[in-house]
Every structure is written in structure tokens, then in C-alpha cells.
Amino acid sequence: MIYLSHFDFPDIEREYDFIFKQKHTCYDTYYPFQILSKHRLAMLDFEPITILYGGNGSGKTTALNVMAEKLGLERDTLYNRSNFFEDYTRMCDYDTQLAIPRGSRIITSDDVFDFMLNLRSINDGINRKREEVFADYLEAKYSHFQMKSLADYEQLKKVNSARSKTQSKYIRENLMDNVREHSNGESAFIYFQEKIQENKLYLLDEPENSLSPEKQQELVKFLEDSARFFGCQFVIATHSPFLLSMRGAKIYDMDEETVDVKRWTELENVRAYFDFFKRYESEFE
């Protein structure tokens, strides 16, 4: 599915014209001006899966944030806007093939990291509660309780329950809202599964962060299936060879002096991996 078909950024002449008019200001930076124009990026055309490839400082994240702002996409965490961000986005333009669906969003590494911290905090709370329930179990199981009135009925039930169950079963039954603990990679993958829904546009900023190679390959299949079968469109900033290998992806090399479209096997980062493993090929036999 293609919702966003084309996006225009201001060219270097328009940027210089704007900056020249601000020459009496005291600002040290005009960010996001002079970031994308550095590699002569003036426009992007999109497929169901489009990838922005490049190293740090190439402008991948800037491009995603500009597009998200211009399109009014939902997001969870704040980002570096700067004093000139609105000026820049006003100079941008875009075309759609279909209306951008409500609920479309940008997902950044900060979003995933915050989710993992929140989940860890919940699990810490569960752990503290688990300790309380465990202490309660021991006290009830080995107490010399005798029921003296109806007011003691609830305590009687607790004692009988503790004496008739193992520790683990008692804790499971009495610990409400128990949250399963996950590794960081599992938590990150859960975040994508929960946030990505059918028939929406998603901008993903380095989604491979916190994911093992195995989980990255799972994410690749999840994203491919979401685009192929569930009406999603993705614009992804990444330098992961696993994500770069996604079937049918259109890849912009933002490290080039003039941003260009390339096959994933032509990218410098991927070639470095290939050359490295080729050099040690005999050790895998």
C-alpha cells in the first residue's frame, strides 16, 4: 500500500535565501537547514517499503522527523525541534496516493527505550509484590491460627489456601496483573507488534536498536508481511544489513554526495560485512 508517494525538501538555494534573511540573528545553528541539502537531497519517492540508509550525521533521523512533523503523525517521545524547525517544515511539500490514515505514526529508538524502561518498572513492582505475597504465604502456612469469630473467616480461607497449595501456585493465584519479564530484545519486539496496526503509514528510526540478529530477522518478516498483506507502508532509517535486505525495498543511500537509489548489496556497510565474512569463510566450514 502507498499512502505517501512523494516528499519535497527545500533545495540549497531556498535554504541560503532563508538563512541570508536571518543573518542578524544570534543563533549558532539553523538546524534542520543545511543537513539534507549537504547531500543534495531535495525529494524522495516512496514504495510500500522505503529505506533511508546512511551513517551517523547523514540526515536519516532529520528526514524522518521533518516528514513526521509535516504529515502530523503521532509520536510518543519528544525530539530536537530547534527554533527553525517550523520554518523548515513550512518549506516542505508532499503528495499522497491515498489519504494518510489516522493513527499513522513515527517510532523512534527513544520510544522503544522508554517502553522497555516502563516495562522494567512494572516488573520491579511485580517483584516487590511477589516478595510480599511470599512472606504472606509463609506466615499463613505456618501460623497457629484458630478461628474465633466470623471476622476471622477471610484469614481462615488464606490459611487453608496456603496449607493446601505449593508456594509457586499460591503466589501465581494471589499475584494479580502479573507481567512476564522479557529481555530487552523481546520487549522491543513486543513494542513493534503492539504499535504497528493494519492499514497505516509508519516511519521507523533505526528499529534494529536493542534487537539481536535473530530478532532483527523476525522484525524483517513482520514488517514485510505487514506491508504485503495488511496494508502498511514503511519509511525506515537503518544501517542494519538484515533490514536492508527486505524484499522490494527502495533504498536511498544518504552517504552519497548526491543521494541515490541503490541495491542493498551495493551499500558500503553491507559490502564491509560481506568482505569480512568472506575473509574468514574457511573458519565456518
Domain-by-domain residue ranges, the chain? 4-111+183-284, 118-174
For 3-60, write each residue's pLDDT tens digit.
Answer: 999 999 999 889 888 888 776 566 667 889 989 998 889 999 999 999 999 988 889 9
pLDDT at 243: 96
**Could you tell me which residues come within 8 angstroms of residue 175 by beta carbon, excluding any fewer than 6 positions away?**
126, 129, 130, 133
Q: Are strands 233-238 and 43-45 parallel, antiparallel or unpaired?
A: unpaired
Banded model confidence at residue 126, pLDDT cuts 50, 70, 90:
very low
What pLDDT is attached to residue 161? Answer: 60
Residue 75 has pLDDT above 80, yes or no: yes
Q: Which residue has the higher pLDDT, 160 or 281?
A: 281
In whole angstroms, how far apart are CA 15 and each of 9, 42, 87, 102, 260?
10, 11, 10, 31, 21
Cell numbers that stand for 177 in this block: 496483573
What integer pLDDT is reported at residue 155 of this predicted model? 57
Is pLDDT above 90 for 103? yes
Supply φ then ψ for residue 261, to 5 degrees: -90, 135
- Could you tell me the pTM of the whole model? 0.76
What's the rounded Cα separation, in Å, for the pair 10 and 89?
Answer: 9
Report pLDDT for 177.
44
- For 44, phi then psi, to 5°, come to -135, 135
CATH of 4-111+183-284, one of 1.10.10, 3.40.50, 1.10.3470, 3.30.70: 3.40.50
